[in-house]
Structure formats: structure tokens, C-alpha cells
Chain A
Amino acid sequence: MDSGIDLGFPLWIRLTHLFNILFITLLIRSGIEILAAHPKLYLNEDCTPGTEWIRFTPRQMPKDQFWTGKDEQEAYSSWVSLPGGKHLGLGRQWHFLGVLGWVLTGLIYVTLLFVTPEWRRLVPTSWDIFPQAWQSALVYLRLDLPPDGNPFNAAQQLVYFSIIFVLSPLQILTGLAMAPSVAARFPWYTALFGGRQRARSLHFLGLVAFVSFIVHHITLVVAHGLGDESAAIVLGVERGASSTQQSLAVAIMAAWIGFVIVVNVWATRSARHSPRTMQHALQCVIDPVLRFLLHHLDSRQHYRPEQRTMSPRPNGWPPKNAQYEALARDGFTGWALEVRGLVEQPLRLTLADLVAMERHSQVTEHNCIQGWSYVAVWTGVPLRAVLERCRPLPRARYLVLHAMDNKSESEPDPEGPGYFYETIDLTLAQDSQTLLAYEMNGERLSIPHGAPVRLRVETQLGFKMVKWLCAIELIESYGDVGEGQGGWREDFQHYSQDASI
């Protein structure tokens, strides 16, 4: 592995190493927050309760009463999760900001690695690396240190190569495989990992591998000599650093770790105490990138009917009011969907009217923001057909979908007050797989799953697919609806308006 060139530790390697520390801590802590939303991991797409291979909750869900996916959520401490305490919306946004920073740092690092001779420090050029790495490992086992390489010994080179060129890409690829828009547009891609739930499990194991690497890395830095190693990675002084240089390097590294801690504390406190400000600040950076990358993807999912989940998990408690109960008692014969707002022709469509319109069936995967999923057969009217009938005015850009459930009445532990609503834009509404579904798995939609009619937008996360639908309103901007964030969950749980990842 000795190339004859002294590779050393140039400035860009030292800087990217420091920024990597910052972004990795944000990613790990916000990743744990996301895990807390559904602290169970599966090897099957159905996520049937009890089939998880691991769970991080002391809670066992009852078999003798109704419960929903939301009841499984845990509130982890802010010491381990960012921001902690069931703040999934902001946890996700911090995670995506961490991803942007980490991937950018990684791209700069890898680019510079290959435009300079520095790639030799990591990329093995001979199969001899394996026996050499084994010899280095044996030296470590004898409580000794292998001779320095240029700049790494074979074991270090192999481990760093694996982290940068195997584990890091795997984390990015499995993260993408969990995005509903990617899974909807490229179902084959998610299938490469064995499905969304296996991708989620792999992503978690990647997290464990990263944490394990960090612990071992720090241990071996101490074993090799904290002063010497710090002088190399902070000051670029490789061998024979003076004690002053060593002390200075350790002090700078300690100061940077202090800065990373301050950033984490600030991020946590701001998210907990000023969530709206933090939501807006994070969305300014994240939303344009996500919309550019994912929003234009249309759904092309075609699961086979026999792949449907036998006991799909519901989410959200059904409406608890006299009006809804009366409608349900009469089989929703008295129910009607109002279509109003910026349209040429306002509509009032009964369930019978919808059933008489263009009928479309699709077998798709439902992806909850919490992490669980299921596959179901959905039948209903393409929303496009309803829009063709009401003819949106040119100013109309968004649809507000109003539900019959008042969260203050229906939810045992509501995050906010008032009737549930969500918005989607016209592009999403006109996707070929965007449906007003009235059947699920060949039967009339059940109450827990949104009877009489619910929305299906297959490139989005489940919270966008409003259940117990009663009205659709076309608008120009959602700034004046509710708290103005684009939906009930955006208003009160600080979710992002775009739910494509």
C-alpha cells in the first residue's frame, strides 16, 4: 500500500472530518427520534403486530381493544433523540438537513480524494490487503500496535474503505428506498432491498454499525496515542509532533466537540421551544431540494392482489360525533362530498354518484410517516375525473381535503384542535393513481380506514391521505387555511407540507 507519495492529512481531509462529526451526530440523534415514532422493525411489508424482529418499547399492544398506529409511538429522551418527546415532524426535518450536510461533505471528500493521489490512502489496490489486515488485527490482539502505514495500516485502510464506500452508500440507498415517492415510481428499486421494511431494518443496522465504528475508532485513537493522532487529523502534523502541537491539537478537537454539543443542544431546545420558527427555517433549506428531486415522480405501483396485507393497521381515531354516527348507521346513504372553491362548477356527489363514475382499482403500498406499511387493493374514482367535472379555475393551485373528524373529540391525546384537513397540489391530484377510494380489499371501506371515502395519493406518506372525507376545496394558497402550514399535521405536529419522503 506504500505508494511512495507521502499522503499525509491535507487541509480538506481535516475539515471534512470535522464537519462529518457534526452531521453524523445530528443524523444519529434525529434518526433515533424517527425510530421512536414506530419503535419496531420488521422483515415483512405487512408489519403485523407481533411479527417485529426487534422493538424498542416497553409497551405491548392489547388484543382486546381498538388501537391505532399512533398509540405505539414512544417519547424518547432528548439526551438520545433530536428533539425527543414525540416531535417526529421536526426530528425528520433535522434528519433531512443532516443528510444534506453529510452527503455534501461526503461528495466534497470523495471528489477531492479522486482528483488527488489521496485515494491511495483508502482504496486497496491489491488483494494482499486482506492478509495484511489480518496480520494487523493479530498485532492488535497481542495488545500491540501495528507499524504505521501511509498513512494507515492495512486494517485501518480496509475499515475506513468499508465505512466510506460500503456503509455510507448503503445508508443513503436504504434511506431513499423508504421514500414513498421513490417506492411508488420505482417499485423495483425498493424491491432490491427486499421491500421498505427490510430497507428500514438495514438502515437501522447501518446506524448500529456507525455507532460501533465511532466507539472503536475513538478507542483505537486513544490506544494509538491521542496527542499524536489529534496532531495528524487536526493540524496535519503526522509523525513526531511536539508536545505543544499535540496539546494544541487535542484542545482544538475538544473545542470542536464542544461546538458540536452546543449545536445539538441549541437544535434540541429550539425545536422544543420554538417549533414553528424551526419548522420554517428547516423547510427553507430542505423543501426546495426535496421538491426538485422527488415531487415530479408519479406512482407506478402494481402489487399483485394476493400480496395484500391481511390485517392492515389503522391510524387515527374515527370521528366521534352524532352526525358521523348517524351517517354510519344509515350506511352513508345520506353522505355527500362537496367540491367547492375555485371551480367553475361546484359539485355535491353522493356515494352512489361516486360509485357510478369512472372506476379504478390499484394494489399499492401504504407508507405511514411513522415507518410501518401495508399493501391493499383500493377501488374508487380517480380524483382527475372529479376535477374534470368541476373544472378548476386557472387560479386554483391546491386542494384542501376536509375530514369529518374533529381531533378534539376523536383523539384520546390530540396534538391539536379542530377538524382534520390536508392539502395537496393540483399536480399530485391529477396523478393516475390518485383516488377517492370507497373500497378496500374488495369491500366497502371500513370506518377505521376512512369510510365512506378517503383519499389515496400513492407518492405521499399516509397522513396526506385524508380519511372520512366530506369536502374538497380548491384554493390558490394554503396560507389562510388553519394555521397556514398546509395541513392539520403540518400545523400542529410540524410535518413538512410535501410528504414525498
Chain B
Amino acid sequence: MSALVCQKGVATLVEVRRPAELVRHGVIAGVVAGITLVAEEMVATVLLGGNASDPFRLVASVVFGRQALSREFAIWIPLLVGTAAHLLLSVLFGLVFVLLVAGAYQLSARVPLLLLYGVLYGLALWEINVLTVLHLLFPQLAPLMRLDNQIWNGIVSYAIFYGLVLGAYIAFARPGVVAEWKRKAR
């Protein structure tokens, strides 16, 4: 931490927000939240009477169409493509979350607020991804969206098992933590 040198005005502690640091934390947050989300979706799908591979097949069907949903379709393709696509999107959205939090000066926000931001962000993602993008770009998948599926694999998964984890990660890692803040003269 540099010395406090300020002839006129106040020297304050200011968050350090190095772009490379934010990107690194965004990627990690996205991976952690993405793995949590897919694990929860596998469990929820089984509990709702489906097969643990269904979430992968659903993601893969974005690439291969409805045939990827069929049991005859080789499982390793959806597993590979589904996992890759899911993690890629998780990282992308994790990165966006960290950048949004930093952009709104919320890296040092109280823990409950960060968790709330995560939940709201998860809900927003669900709304954009599932309610709008999927509806507009992949209408063939819309009939698959049963209500119970939407509630557990949609709202709850996105808000709690993705968004909340993102918020918790920021609260834990605190990119731009006080100890790293620099004193800056106004």
C-alpha cells in the first residue's frame, strides 16, 4: 500500500479493480456456479422422474436439434457438447456478473446484498435465456418446458444454484478487497 501523500484534500481508500483480476475471478465464479448448477439439475431431473443425462441432451439439442433428446442418440455426444456449451455459457455469464458488480461499485457490498444480487441475476438470466432467447431461437424446445421442470430446473436452479453461488463467490473472494485497496488523493 502506497504512503498517504496528500497536500490538499482527502486521501481515501479506493477499490482496486484490475481488469485481468476481474476476468480471472469471473471465470472461476462461472465455473464454480456452472458445476453447481449442472449437479443440481441432474439431481432435480432424476427426482422429477427423468434421466440424469436429460439436462445434457437438452443443451446438446440446441446444436443437434430434437434428435439429441432421443435415447437412441449416443450419450457421449450430449455429454461432451452439453458440458462444453454449459461451461462456456456459465463462464460468460459469471464474467458478466463480476463486471456488473464491479461496475456498480458493489465489490465491497455487504454479504446479504451480494447474495441478493446473485439471486436476482440468476432470475434475470432465467428470464432472458429460457423465457425469451429459447422461446425465440429454439421454439422446438418450448413444448418440453413443463411447469414443474420450469420451477425446479429453471427458477430455483438459476436463482439459487447459479446466482446465489456467484454472489457467494464474490463475498468469499472479494476481488478488490480492502487489504488491496490503495490510498488515492481526490
Interface string of A58-76 (1 = CB under 8 A from B): 1111100111000100000
Tell me if A71 and B105 are in contact (CB < 8 A). no
Tell me if A143 and B142 are in contact (CB < 8 A). yes
Q: CA A39 – CA B105 in complex, angstroms?
A: 10
Q: How far is the CB of B132 from chain A (nearest CB, A)?
A: 6
Interface residues of A in 109-146 (CB under 8 A from B): 138, 140-144
Interface string of A31-66 (1 = CB under 8 A from B): 000000001000000000000011111111110011
Contacts of B17 in A (CB 8 A): 58
Q: CA A140 – CA B135 in complex, angstroms?
A: 11
Contacts of B19 in A (CB 8 A): none
Given A58-B105, A141-B150, residue A67 in contact with residue B135 (CB < 8 A): no
Contacts of B154 in A (CB 8 A): 141
Q: How far is the CB of B162 from chain A (nearest CB, A)?
A: 18
Interface residues of B in 143-186 (CB under 8 A from A): 145-147, 150-151, 154-155, 176, 178, 181, 186
> Of A53, A55, A71, A223, which contacts B12 at CB under 8 A?
A71
Contacts of B151 in A (CB 8 A): 141
Contacts of B14 in A (CB 8 A): 58-60
Q: How far is the CB of B63 from chain A (nearest CB, A)?
A: 20
Contacts of B108 in A (CB 8 A): 58, 60
Given A142-B146, A142-B147, residue A60 in contact with residue B12 (CB < 8 A): yes
Given A54-B109, A223-B135, A413-B186, residue A141 in contact with residue B147 (CB < 8 A): yes
Contacts of B110 in A (CB 8 A): 53-54
Tell me if B130 and A61 are in contact (CB < 8 A). no
Given A60-B12, A62-B11, A412-B10, residue A143 in contact with residue B104 (CB < 8 A): no
Contacts of A59 in B (CB 8 A): 12-14
Interface string of A421-462 (1 = CB under 8 A from B): 000000000000000000000000000000000000000000
Q: How far is the CB of A86 from chain B (nearest CB, A)?
A: 11
Tell me if B186 and A140 are in contact (CB < 8 A). no
A222 at the A/B interface (Cβ < 8 Å)? yes
Size category of the binding interface on chain B: 35 or more
Most interface-central of B127, B142, B176 (chain A CB within 10 A) = B127
Q: CA A223 – CA B127 in complex, angstroms?
A: 11
Given A53-B110, A58-B17, residue A143 in contact with residue B11 (CB < 8 A): no
Q: CA A141 – CA B10 in complex, angstroms?
A: 52
> Of A60, A66, A144, A412, which contacts B13 at CB under 8 A?
A60
Q: CA A60 – CA B9 in complex, angstroms?
A: 14
Q: How far is the CB of B140 from chain A (nearest CB, A)?
A: 12
B39 at the A/B interface (Cβ < 8 Å)? no
B8 at the A/B interface (Cβ < 8 Å)? yes
Contacts of B15 in A (CB 8 A): 58
B131 at the A/B interface (Cβ < 8 Å)? yes
B46 at the A/B interface (Cβ < 8 Å)? no
Output the nearest chain B residue to A53 by Cβ-Cβ distance.
Answer: B110
Interface residues of A in 301-357 (CB under 8 A from B): none
Given A57-B105, A58-B105, A60-B178, residue A140 in contact with residue B131 (CB < 8 A): yes
Given A54-B109, A223-B135, residue A142 in contact with residue B145 (CB < 8 A): yes
Q: CA A57 – CA B105 in complex, angstroms?
A: 5
> Of B105, B127, B150, which contacts A55 at CB under 8 A?
B105
Q: CA A149 – CA B11 in complex, angstroms?
A: 59
Q: CA A219 – CA B154 in complex, angstroms?
A: 17
B100 at the A/B interface (Cβ < 8 Å)? no
Interface residues of B in 5-35 (CB under 8 A from A): 8-15, 17
Output the nearest chain A residue to B15 by Cβ-Cβ distance.
Answer: A58
Given A71-B186, A223-B135, residue A142 in contact with residue B9 (CB < 8 A): no
Q: How far is the CB of A320 from chain B (nearest CB, A)?
A: 10
Contacts of B150 in A (CB 8 A): 141-143
Tell me if B10 and A67 are in contact (CB < 8 A). yes
B84 at the A/B interface (Cβ < 8 Å)? no
Q: How far is the CB of B147 from chain A (nearest CB, A)?
A: 5
Q: CA A143 – CA B155 in complex, angstroms?
A: 13
Q: CA A144 – CA B109 in complex, angstroms?
A: 38
Q: B interface vs A, CB < 8 Å?
A: 8-15, 17, 104-110, 113, 124, 127-128, 130-132, 134-136, 142, 145-147, 150-151, 154-155, 176, 178, 181, 186
14 intermolecular pairs with C-beta atoms under 8 Å apart: A58-B14, A58-B108, A58-B176, A59-B14, A60-B13, A61-B10, A65-B11, A71-B9, A71-B10, A142-B147, A143-B130, A223-B132, A413-B8, A413-B186
Given A60-B181, A138-B147, 19 new contacts (CB under 8 A) = A57-B105, A58-B14, A58-B17, A58-B105, A58-B107, A58-B176, A59-B12, A59-B13, A71-B12, A71-B186, A141-B151, A142-B150, A143-B135, A143-B145, A216-B127, A219-B127, A219-B132, A223-B131, A412-B186
A-B CB proximity, top 6 nearest = A412-B9, A58-B15, A412-B8, A60-B13, A67-B10, A71-B10
